[in-house]
Structures are given as C-alpha cells and as structure tokens.
Amino acid sequence: MTDNPDRPAEWARWALARARALPPWALLAAGVLLGGVLGSAYGGLRTPQYTATSYVIAVPTKQSDPAAALGFAQAYGRVATQLAVLGDAQVWAGVPVSTLRESVRTATSPDAPMVAVTATSAEPDLAADIANAVSRSLTRHANDSEDSTHVELLQFSRAIEPTEASSASAAVTGLVGASAGGLLGGLALLVRPRRAPEPAPTASVPGPATAAVFRGQL
C-alpha cells in the first residue's frame, strides 16, 4: 500500500487554513507560554553555579611609586590565568589546570592597584578554594621578582564560601524565555498569512433592451 502523493500538499493546505483561522493574539500568547515553560525548565534543570572572589593588592616599595604599582597590578591581572601561575595553584586547589583555566577570571581597576580573582564552580567551597589558590600562587610569583619590580603583591581579601548561587534562577530564566517567545510570536504574527480580501461588488450596466423599456416609460 502506497501513500497518497497528494497528502503532503493536503497537509500544507490544512496548516495554512488553520493559521489563517487563528485570532491575531493566538501566536503571541503561544510564544509567551512556550518560551516561559522552556526557560523555566532550563533554569530548573541546569546545575547551579557559585562564584567566589579574592583580592590582591600591589604595594610599592621605597624604591618605587604608586604609579608603578598600578601598572604592575594591570600586568599581574593578565598573567594570573597563565600556565605558570595555574600550575602551582592546582596543587592547593586540588583540581587540574584545565578546570582552573575554565573557571578563573581576573579583573583590574584603572584607579586602584588591585586584582580581583574570581572563580566559578558547581560547589561553593571549591569556588572559594580555587580563588584563594590562584591568588596565593599569583602573589608568590609576583614577589619572586620583587627585587627587580620594586612592587610587592599582598593578599587583600580572601574569598569566602558563597551561600547563594550566582547563576540565574528558574524564575529569571522563565521571564527571559517568555520575553523571547513573545518576540518570536510577534514576528510570526507579522509574517502570518492573511485572508484574501473579498472582491468589492461592481455596478451593473443595463443592457440595450432594458434601456429601451426605460425610454418607453418616459
């Protein structure tokens, strides 16, 4: 038994007719509902992520000045995620270098000689351990060259174990999904096929016989 070759065309015509029959707000409402459900599901099923941050500060020695400390802080922020620093940090953190490279980010300030070392992990205690391990390793490598740089790197603030996840909650991802679904529904509404307008009635012109009868009545 073979399928009817016209079946795909029939389904296409049926789908087109259904789309035309839907009210204008249906696509928008469906997009908001579907996007909200998918966004909430993503936020609920995704593993929560925790973030911890430690800070180190560059201090000039007697042979240097604050401007030099600020410049070296910028440099230390760039080398904090290099292999030389992460190679020592992995011993104290207890995780491989690849994990450190994926989870560690650094940030510096143009106004203060300070480096922020931020670590993200699915385990809150591990996030704090990684941030502190990288800060410790960075401080050690920086102070090995203190005699030439005349800048000392000190631990300013240790990372503490976070108590709340830094990743978005299911409610937030649900709102984002609903917004995206509403946007897609609005776009679908714009390209939605519309019903063809009914032809306007045309005026009839009387034929010759009708015109003759009309003149005879005058």
Rounded to two decimals, the pTM is: 0.62
Higher-pLDDT residue of 187 and 143 is 143
* The pLDDT of residue 22 is above 50: yes
Find out whether 109 and 56 touch, Cβ atoms under 8 Å: no
Q: CB neighbours (10 Å) of residue 66?
A: 12
* pLDDT tens-digit readout, 193-202: 555 555 555 5
Is the predicted pLDDT of residue 18 greater than 80, yes or no? no
Amino acid of residue 181: G
Could you give the C-alpha distances from 187 to 75, 102, 190, 192, in angstroms and in order? 47, 37, 5, 9
Of 22-26, 37-41, 66-70, 194-198, highest mean pLDDT? 66-70
| Contact by Cβ (8 Å): 107, 55 | no
Percent of the chain at pLDDT above 90?
31
Domains of the chain, with CATH numbers? Answer: 22-46+168-193 (no CATH), 50-157 (3.30.70.1130)
* Contact (CB, 8 A) for 80 and 134: yes
Percentage of the chain exceeding pLDDT 70? 57
Q: To the nearest whole number, what is the mean pLDDT of the chain? A: 77
Residue 89's closest CA among 130, 142, 56? Answer: 130
By CB atoms closer than 10 A (0-12, 13-18, 19+), residue 97 is middle
* DSSP structure string for 114-146: EEEEEEEESSHHHHHHHHHHHHHHHHHHHHHTH
